[in-house]
């Protein structure tokens, strides 16, 4: 082509273009890569897997009979004392009766309230002096000292005979300290203004027969009253049925 002459011929241009390529990934492979990049999501996944493994394998490692009940270990926290003292089988108590002291009005409160026998989880037995003019008595139980605000706690018995000056408590007793208060009642069932309180330190007990039934010992002859045995081990505590 001569100089200064235009040419309309097509010009071919060769250009090198940089391309980016990667291996083809499936949906699950891509999801796993994204999950590993998120540390919090990965930790959450491990927790879910651990919970599932505990749910599936736990019953095989720690076997618990769903129908079993241990009333001596209801709602026991982890690490609680598991010892129990062997005691004789429970025997009914006839109580204490005294001649009523006549009077028109209630003359105060029982002079003394005593724990008749060593208090155990089988029973706490109370007796007191008769009060002149009393037509009955009301017994309260509290887990805390009623002094100084006079909170007597739960009324667990109302005795309508002035001759009966005793009471046996067998209501869901635990191995702890209880405060029992006795109040005299007049003809109309009204309480006297004062009360008498006694403290009972309850001891957990178990009979030899119960120890055999719970698998704590092999034979009843292995223990005698006064010996101590270890209750069933519950590393995570127990529920409302003692399991």
| 159 confidence band (pLDDT: 50, 70, 90) | very high
| 149 confidence band (pLDDT: 50, 70, 90) | confident
Q: What would the mean pLDDT of 15-41 be, rounded to a whole number?
A: 78
Lowest mean pLDDT among 28-37, 116-125, 140-149: 28-37
Separation CA 53–CA 46 (nearest Å): 10
Q: Which of 118, 205, 107 is nearest to 162 (CA)?
A: 107
Separation CA 209–CA 190 (nearest Å): 45
Sign of the four-CA dihedral 56, 61, 62, 68 = positive
Q: What would the mean pLDDT of 150-154 be, rounded to a whole number?
A: 90
Separation CA 210–CA 231 (nearest Å): 11
Sign of the four-CA dihedral 147, 152, 153, 156 = positive
Q: What would the mean pLDDT of 119-129 be, rounded to a whole number?
A: 94
Largest CA distance in the chain: 151
Provide the CB-side half-sphere exposure for 214 (13 A, CA): 20
Distances (CA, A) of 236 to 52, 76, 162, 190: 18, 9, 48, 47
Lowest mean pLDDT among 4-8, 132-136, 223-227: 4-8
Q: Is residue 165 pLDDT above 90, yes or no?
A: yes
Prior bond to 216 cis, omega within 30?
A: no
Q: What would the mean pLDDT of 98-103 be, rounded to a whole number?
A: 85
Q: What is the DSSP string of 65-99?
A: -TT---GGGTTPPTT---EEEEEPPP------B-P
| 10 confidence band (pLDDT: 50, 70, 90) | confident
Separation CA 75–CA 157 (nearest Å): 25
Helix axes 39-61, 27-37, angle to 10 degrees: 100
pLDDT 10s digits, 180-210: 999 999 888 888 888 999 999 999 999 999 8
What the block records as the tokens of 70 is 């241990």
Q: Where are the alpha helices (DSSP H) in 94-152?
A: none
Q: Using an 8 Å Cβ cutoff, are 110 and 100 in contact?
A: no
């Amino acid at each position: 082509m001569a100089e200064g002459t235009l040419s309309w011929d097509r010009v071919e241009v060769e250009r090198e273009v940089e391309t980016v390529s990667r291996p083809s990934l499936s949906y699950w492979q891509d999801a796993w890569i994204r999950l590993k990049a998120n540390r919090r999501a990965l930790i959450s996944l491990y927790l879910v897997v651990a919970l599932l493994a505990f749910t599936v394998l736990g019953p095989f490692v720690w076997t618990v009979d769903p129908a079993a009940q241990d009333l001596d270990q209801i709602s026991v926290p982890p690490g609680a004392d598991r010892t129990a003292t062997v005691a004789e089988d429970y025997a009914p108590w006839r109580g204490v009766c005294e001649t009523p002291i006549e009077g028109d009005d209630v003359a105060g409160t029982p002079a003394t309230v005593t724990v008749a026998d060593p208090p155990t989880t089988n029973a706490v037995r109370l007796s007191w002096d008769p009060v002149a003019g009393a037509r009955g008595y009301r017994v309260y139980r509290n887990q805390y000292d009623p002094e100084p605000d006079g909170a007597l706690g739960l009324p667990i018995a109302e005795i309508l005979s002035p001759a009966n000056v005793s009471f046996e408590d067998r209501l869901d007793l635990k191995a702890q300290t209880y405060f029992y208060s006795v109040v005299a009642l007049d003809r109309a069932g009204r309480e006297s203004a004062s009360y008498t309180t006694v403290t009972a330190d309850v001891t957990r007990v178990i009979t030899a027969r119960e120890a055999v039934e719970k698998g704590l010992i092999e034979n009843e002859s292995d223990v005698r009253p006064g010996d101590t045995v270890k209750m069933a081990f519950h590393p995570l505590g127990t529920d409302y049925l003692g399991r």
